[in-house]
Chain A
């Protein structure tokens, strides 16, 4: 009996009935992210990914990456295919960039959602892995978002696939499962980020905040202007540690959920404004809004919320 009850509660937790609004937010957000990613690198695309005439030879980064994984897609595979079909490397790189932006646009419209999600994930992954030494946190989070989108139960209610082509939306419990996956993943991200920060003295005395804001290339505010706020740095550092390490607890409690989400979003907006990491901030905001946004202010249409006991 107890085993049955446990299984039931487990099912309720991992398969809550949820609307597909989270998926719409994720799809729109990632469409914007992919387009901005592509547009921000347009001028440097060939310079970053070309072999022998770019910043770093792509062949070297791909060889280094092969030491970690032999079977993860990379740009070299697509370039080789293009050259086999008779195109030059430059043309293939241009085509990859264009295909990435088109996949982003299709995602935004919700047109051929699944194919667009797979294409965007694949092309973005190839560019990230081939530029391995030049990638940073934002790339990883975009891959995470695109991976969840690719395996999620598409299409959603607001997509053209549903509105125009009349493709049916999927089981609400399946939506609940994938949304729960994204929620739990964010809890891991913030918990480990917050915990490791908490173990450094710099975040408690505010020095890490000062260093983060003054170290190149994040030093977009002159240190002479920043130093005026030095008395607030310890407070900001402690707040960041608390927000991140406390996320897996306080984001689930009804009373603190709104405050915590607002705090986390505020932190990412702050990172964008003070450190110039706009794409990093946008992907984190998108993931948070998709995971915990729907149903936050108003109960969702099905009358369900995030925590299992609220599910009938």
Chain B
């Protein structure tokens, strides 16, 4: 058999996965009602998303070898997700603020920080993922880890309150009327680290 047909067959599978993943993620965006299309179509987009997911084997059980093979290949080729960045509209960005309390009643406010701007973009991506996450347990666990990483700079603190929210940006018209961005609280968590933050030196 001509080797070219083997290349073509591999290419066809590769592009089928790209197409299915792109459709799945686009249909998901549409089913959330983020577009200007009528909300009555939401259910149709949800069904279309289910079909696209099924094409990627996502209806199979999580340990099914076909599903695992497709997932592994897609991740290795970087084609596991669609390309709807900043679409249909630019989402809100999230922010977390920590308030550390000391035994003498003093409090200090701090934000999670990284060394360089490149890691700053990753921190922003992490906050977006926390904000979009629907699992309360996971959200709390990740925010607790962030609190621990910041606590290393506040070794004497006995407890921390984490306030997670999103930044509401003004529209151009609102900005012209001197309205500035505001912080809308979504969740707040209290952590107490009796044994001190993980990885920190004992106070």
Q: B-contacting residues of A (Cβ < 8 Å)?
A: 10-11, 14-15, 40-44, 47-48, 52-57, 60, 64, 67-73, 125, 129, 131, 133-137, 140-144, 146-147, 173-174, 177, 181, 184-185, 188-190, 192-193, 195-203, 206-208, 210-212, 214-217, 223, 227, 230, 233, 276-277, 279
Contacts and interface: CB of A to CB of B under 8 A. Distances in A.
Contact of B90 (A67, A144, A202): A202
Contact of B122 (A48, A57, A69, A276): A48
Secondary structure at the B interface, as helix, strand, loop or mixed, is: helix
Contacts of A144: 77-79
Contacts of B76: 72-73, 125, 143, 147
Interface in B176-203: 176, 181, 198-199
A206 B84 contact: no
A38 to B, nearest CB: 10
B71 interface: yes
A71 B72 contact: yes
Task: Report, nearest first, the 8 A-B pairs whose CB atoms are least far apart.
Answer: A200-B88, A143-B78, A53-B199, A40-B118, A196-B87, A43-B115, A199-B35, A134-B122
Given A15-B4, A223-B175, A276 B117 contact: yes
Interface string B16-44: 00110010011001100011110000000
Interface string B52-90: 000000000011000011011001111111111111111
A196 B91 CA distance: 13
Q: Is the interface of A mostly helix, strand, loop or mixed?
A: helix
Interface in B145-185: 145-146, 149, 167, 169, 171-172, 175-176, 181
A55 B75 contact: no
Nearest to A201: B36
Contacts of A48: 114, 119, 122
Nearest to A69: B71
Nearest to B176: A227
Interface residues of B, number: 73
A208 B89 contact: yes
Contacts of A10: 8
B82 to A, nearest CB: 6
Contacts of B146: 55-56
A47 B26 CA distance: 34
A184 B171 contact: no
Contact of B172 (A134, A210, A212): A210
Looking at A40, A173, A192, A203, the one whose CB has the most chain B CB atoms below 10 A away is A192
Given A189-B83, A227-B175, A211 B26 contact: no
Interface of B: 4, 7-8, 11, 14-15, 18-19, 22, 25-26, 29-30, 34-37, 62-63, 68-69, 71-72, 75-90, 92-93, 95, 112, 114-126, 129-130, 138, 141-142, 145-146, 149, 167, 169, 171-172, 175-176, 181, 198-199
A125 B77 CA distance: 9
A119 B179 CA distance: 51
A184 B11 CA distance: 10
Contact of B72 (A41, A69, A177, A276): A69
A2 B30 CA distance: 41
B87 A199 contact: yes
B36 A199 contact: yes
Contact of B84 (A54, A60, A142, A192): A192
A208 B83 contact: no
Given A69-B75, A140-B78, A143-B78, A131 B122 contact: yes
Contact of A207 (B84, B92, B121, B172): B172
A14 B11 contact: yes
A214 B176 contact: no
A199 B37 contact: yes
Contacts of A129: 75
Contact of B85 (A125, A177, A193): A193
A60 B88 contact: no
A193 B83 contact: yes
A44 B115 contact: yes
Given A73-B76, A216-B95, A277-B121, 8 more contacts: A56-B126, A60-B141, A147-B76, A177-B4, A214-B169, A214-B181, A216-B93, A217-B123
